[in-house]
Amino acid sequence: MGTLVRNRNYVRLVGASGATNLADGIASVAFPWLATLLTRDPFLIGLVAFAGRLPWLLLAVPAGVVTDRADRRRLIVQADCFRLVLALGVVGLILLLPDTYAPEAATPFILALSTLAFLLGCAEVVRDNAAQTLMPSVVNKNDLEAANGQLWSVEIVLGQFVGPPLAGVLIALSITSPFLLNSAAFGLAALMVWFIVLPPRIAPPKRSWRVETMEGLRWLWTRPVLRRLALSLGVINGLEALAFVVLVLISQERLGLSASGFGLLLAAGAAGGVLGGLLCPRIASRIGAQRSLTVALGLIPLPFLVVGLSGNAVLIGAALFFQTFVAVLWNVVTVSYRQRAIPDDLLGRVNSVYRFFGWGTISLGALLGSMIVSAAEPVLGREDALTLPFLISAAGTGALFLWGVTRLRID
């Protein structure tokens, strides 16, 4: 750890990631809360979440080609500057809301908010893909587990532990405050990455987009371990989005939480990630990568059941704590494996293909979850309709565990 602390490039990369994750954590409360101020329709609320995650489905693969062609450091700076402008755009949209706003007129504002969320997501895809490819150039390969564990601890502390409750406080001051702070965070992140010094890197010769994209796709698809990890992550993330898209409504309607209370609930989940960032590298080292993956898969369904069936905020917070801890265990093993296995000249493209399969399902899950609640509510009632996505996700991840026990093997 001491070596990493003395590595200025690593400290700057971690600081920038911390700043952007703080902004993401604030947005995780501010965006859905703003949507609920505009409408109570689960589909329209889910539309904002869908728009924010849709770029992972549409742009993850081409972003990998850009990452391998371009100056990765400069790419991150440009993406964060773009996000700064977009966050200010959300502030402008809020200021355009009329004083006598009628909920039945929500659709135009929801569409505008969704558009801004989509553009923010586009910048996030480019930024995150480029940032993850920097880590092997910043630290020694032997330090990847420790570096990734510490990075995720910082990201989780700021993005999930500090960001959500801070968003609740800021919303209490004014609904524009969270987005103003986000714009400042993106500017700070861009500045820190600008001062990172990297060794010279010779980018591969430019060829057609199709050739370069297929090269990354073919490389991943012919590696059974990476292919199965990517598809498994896609199932997990899709089912998680399917259920948790309605968490804001459960918090408001079942638990009676304010914006600050919703932020604290998310922060409780983040505490599990903080502990996971500290302990999961040791757990993975002690019990091995294969057993770590099996344990993580076996535990993933439990939080869905607890959150879906419980009406107790403390119990739901504990379930979110547990869920995030398990997610970090999965990430410590799989991301480090990926960073070692993929050659540098293919890292951006293969990483983007991996994320296409692993993250592209998030937007589809969010949209499907909101549609399930809207369709089920007239039949089951509001309460049972909000529970249904969690039961579906628990069943789906349970089936994934049964498959993974025999088919998901790390070399």
Cβ burial of 128 (10 Å; 0-12, 13-18, 19+) is buried
Length of the chain: 411
First to last CA, the chain: 27
Least confident of 97-101, 224-228, 229-233, 395-399: 97-101
Can you list the alpha helix ranges (DSSP code H) found in 245-300? 247-249, 259-287, 289-299
Cβ burial of 214 (10 Å; 0-12, 13-18, 19+) is middle
Contact 76, 140 (CB under 8 A): no
> What is the chain's mean pLDDT, rounded?
84
Q: Which residue has the higher pLDDT, 77 or 407?
A: 77
Q: What is the mean pLDDT of residues 345-359?
A: 78
CA distance 163 to 145: 25
Whether residue 25 is contained in a domain is answered as: yes
pLDDT of residue 391: 95
Whether residue 204 is contained in a domain is answered as: no
pLDDT of residue 347: 72
pLDDT band at 122 (very low <50, low <70, confident <90, very high): very high
Tens digits of residue pLDDT in 269-314: 878 877 887 788 888 888 887 888 888 899 999 999 999 998 899 9
pLDDT of residue 198: 72
Q: Which residue has the higher pLDDT, 109 or 72?
A: 109
CATH code, 375: 1.20.1250.20
Whether residue 202 is contained in a domain is answered as: no
Helix 60-69 crosses helix 209-221 at what angle (to 10 degrees)?
110
Least confident of 159-173, 233-247, 309-323, 335-349: 335-349
Domain of residue 44: give its range: 2-194+209-407
- Of the chain, the percentage scoring pLDDT greater than 90 comes to 31
CA distance 155 to 406: 33
Q: Which residue has the higher pLDDT, 333 or 395?
A: 395
Whether 239 has a pLDDT exceeding 70, the answer reads yes
Tens digits of residue pLDDT in 134-168: 777 777 766 666 777 677 678 877 887 788 888 88
- The token pair that represents 165 in the structure block: 């409750």
Cβ burial of 102 (10 Å; 0-12, 13-18, 19+) is exposed
pLDDT of residue 141: 65
Tens digits of residue pLDDT in 184-228: 999 999 999 998 877 665 555 666 767 777 877 888 888 888 888
Contact 260, 165 (CB under 8 A): yes
pLDDT of residue 36: 85
Whether residue 201 is contained in a domain is answered as: no
CA distance 6 to 1: 9
Whether 331 has a pLDDT exceeding 80, the answer reads yes
Q: Which residue has the higher pLDDT, 151 or 87?
A: 87
Closest CA to 65 of 354, 350, 383: 350
Whether 90 has a pLDDT exceeding 90, the answer reads yes
Whether residue 199 is contained in a domain is answered as: no
Least confident of 48-62, 202-216, 326-340: 202-216
pLDDT of residue 65: 73
Q: What is the mean pLDDT of residues 108-129?
A: 90
Tens digits of residue pLDDT in 163-187: 888 888 898 888 899 999 999 999 9
Hey, which of 99-108, 293-302, 363-372, 389-398 has the most confident mean pLDDT? 389-398
pLDDT of residue 91: 94
Report the domain count for the chain: 1
